Amino acid sequence: MTQTSPLLVAQLTDTHLFADESQELLGLATAKSLSVVLDYLQKLQPQPDLLLLTGDLSQDETAESYHRLHHAVLPLKIPAYWLPGNHDALSVMEQVLCTAPISAEKAFQQGGWNFVLLNSATPGRVDGQLSPQSLNWLEQQLQANSQSPTLLALHHPPFPIGSDWMDGINLQNSAALFAVTDRYPQVKLVLFGHIHQEFDSWRRNVRYLGTPSTCVQFKPKSTNFALDQLKPGFRLLYLYPDGSYNTQVERVGCVHQLDCAATGY
């Protein structure tokens, strides 16, 4: 029987913060849009039990941008866990994003669920790759927690999403990931960012969910780089200890004028 009080998780992704809070990405001040998202979260009842920050947290790879993120989430007093994206500087993240409420842990248990956060970012590259070490570590985590429903998170989508330009920079060794996850039926959900849009697909009883950015959105099913007019967003997940769950994407109002002539970022 499903309990009535699930673990509430908020996934925030692709915040693309700068050292300068007024700096814009494609016509949108990313610090401002994140602030609107966090204000929305702060008013939720009940409050999320934890935050998952799934990469591209910085745009300029500066310590100041990560300090800005830490300062932004501090008032929520919600435990937050992160993983890097292709725009991030992992060594700087590890130095800055390591004090409460933000944790650098990459595997933890809460609400009857097992959480495993993977690093799919490769220095100097936009596309993603999971190292042999990461895959071995993932297998160890799944072996050690075989009885707990499991949520995996990484930055890059592990299969095509139907946008030609984006599908060339997704996870390049997804078959290696599936070779691990296919052996562990406790894996229920895989979350990712990178694509700046909502995405929902199933593979072998595992649900794969892409989540909108807290800043600019990319147009789905696009051959070339293109921006969408949809508002910034994030994902909520309601996780029950029996492995069942519900999820939804929330979007927030944020006034901005996009640079729709842009051909990249």
Structural domains for the chain: 7-251 (3.60.21.10)
* Separation of alpha carbons 140 and 105, rounded Å: 15
* Residue 196 pLDDT exceeds 80: yes
* Separation of alpha carbons 11 and 81, rounded Å: 10
pLDDT of amino acid 264:
72
Q: Summarize pLDDT for 10-62 with one digit per residue, the tens.
A: 999 999 999 999 999 988 999 999 999 999 999 999 999 999 999 999 999 99
* Residue 176 pLDDT exceeds 60: yes
* Residue 2 pLDDT exceeds 60: no
Burial (Cβ within 10 Å: 0-12, 13-18, ≥19) of residue 103? middle
pLDDT of amino acid 253:
84
Mean pLDDT of the residues in the chain: 94
Q: Summarize pLDDT for 74-104 with one digit per residue, the tens.
A: 999 999 999 999 999 999 999 999 999 999 9
DSSP state string for 128-164: B---HHHHHHHHHHHHHTTTS-EEEE-SS-SS--S-H
pLDDT of amino acid 235:
98
Where residue 188 falls (left for φ over 0; alpha for ψ -120 to 50; beta otherwise) is alpha
CB 10 within 8 A of CB 233: no
* Separation of alpha carbons 44 and 77, rounded Å: 13
Separation of CA 252 from chain center = 17
Task: Count CB-CB contacts under 10 A for residue 227.
Answer: 20
Residue 217, C-beta contacts closer than 8 angstroms, at least 6 positions apart:
196, 197, 227, 228, 229, 230, 231, 232, 233
Residue 31, C-beta contacts closer than 8 angstroms, at least 6 positions apart:
17, 18, 21, 22, 23, 68, 72
* Residue 255 pLDDT exceeds 90: no
pLDDT band at residue 263 under the 50/70/90 scheme: low
pLDDT band at residue 247 under the 50/70/90 scheme: very high
* Residue 1 pLDDT exceeds 70: no
* Separation of alpha carbons 118 and 46, rounded Å: 28
